[in-house]
Amino acid sequence: MKSNNVLASIEAMVFAAGDPVEPSKLAEVLNIDVENVIKMLGHLQASYDERNSGLRLIRIDGKYQLCTREEYSDEVRGLLEIKKNTPLSQAAFEVLAIVAYNKTVTRSFIEQIRGVDCSGPVSNLVQKGLIEEKGRLDLPGRPLVYGTTDRFLRCFSLNSLEDLPDLPEEAEQKDDSQTSLFDSDDKKDEILKENTENPDGEVTEE
């Protein structure tokens, strides 16, 4: 490998790693001396600075990491704020609802109900602070259990999980006279209105 390519491959590795990387690890992968790697990292560092890149290569504790240059932190923050404020996806809403209505659940429980892998929405909700890990189940594999957070209660203006709107299935047990699929639309509106006092209504249709 030419030295130019070594430089580029170091750049690629440091980029993909995200976290700070030890030069010795890079040396191991490339099968070259650590001194050589450190020299290359120096070149890389200089080249980012010379061309006034928006990025820089920093050294922390002998490890190296790519990050944005502090001059642009306002812009970076601005962009990330916009991204952060994208509303919850339908998938995230459903996962959140399953966690909330069941208080504590494992991911596989959520996936069983939804019929699809839910690792994406689950970690998204954890990042947003709406659900959190509540421990592990004493089962093979010791699966993590998730529950909702105080932030969740605030975002949905709830005092506690007891305040969640009643589920229609409980309603069906109490009173199944209203479960017909053929309820007329205005009937449905009525039911929706009444739902606060009379949670028996059929509200499953959109």
One character per residue 100-139, x = contact with a second copy (rule: CB under 8 A): --------------xxxx-xx-xxx-xx-x--xx-xx-x-
DSSP state at residue 162: G
Is residue 93 part of the contact set for a second copy (CB under 8 A)?
A: no
Say how far apart CA 183 and CA 201 lie, in whole Å.
11
Footprint on residues 40-79 left by another protein (CB under 8 A):
56, 58, 65-70, 73, 76-77
Considering only 33, 35, 49, 71, the residue that binds a second copy (CB under 8 A) is 71
Q: Copy the structure tokens of residue 88.
A: 């919850």
Q: Residue 105 pairs with which residues in a beta bridge?
A: 146
Is residue 99 part of the contact set for a second copy (CB under 8 A)?
A: no
Cβ neighbours of residue 120 closer than 8 Å, sequence gap 6 or more: 91
One character per residue 5-24, x = contact with a second copy (rule: CB under 8 A): x-xxxxxxx-xxx-x-x---
Q: Residue 133 pairs with which residues in a beta bridge?
A: 146
- Burial state string for 116-153 with b = 16 or more CB within 10 A and e = fewer than 16: eebeebbebbeebebbeeeeeeeeeeeeebbbbbeebb
185-192, long-range: CB < 8 A, 24+ apart: none
Spatial contact of 148 and 161, defined as CB atoms under 8 Å apart? yes
Which residue's CB is nearer to a second copy, number 20 or number 199?
A: 20
Is residue 84 part of the contact set for a second copy (CB under 8 A)?
A: no
Binding partner of residue 132 among a second copy, another protein, none, CB under 5 to 8 Å per kind? a second copy
List interacting residues with a second copy (CB under 8 A): 4-5, 7-13, 15-17, 19, 21, 25-26, 28-30, 47, 51-55, 66, 68-69, 71-72, 75-76, 78-80, 82-83, 89-91, 114-117, 119-120, 122-124, 126-127, 129, 132-133, 135-136, 138, 144, 206
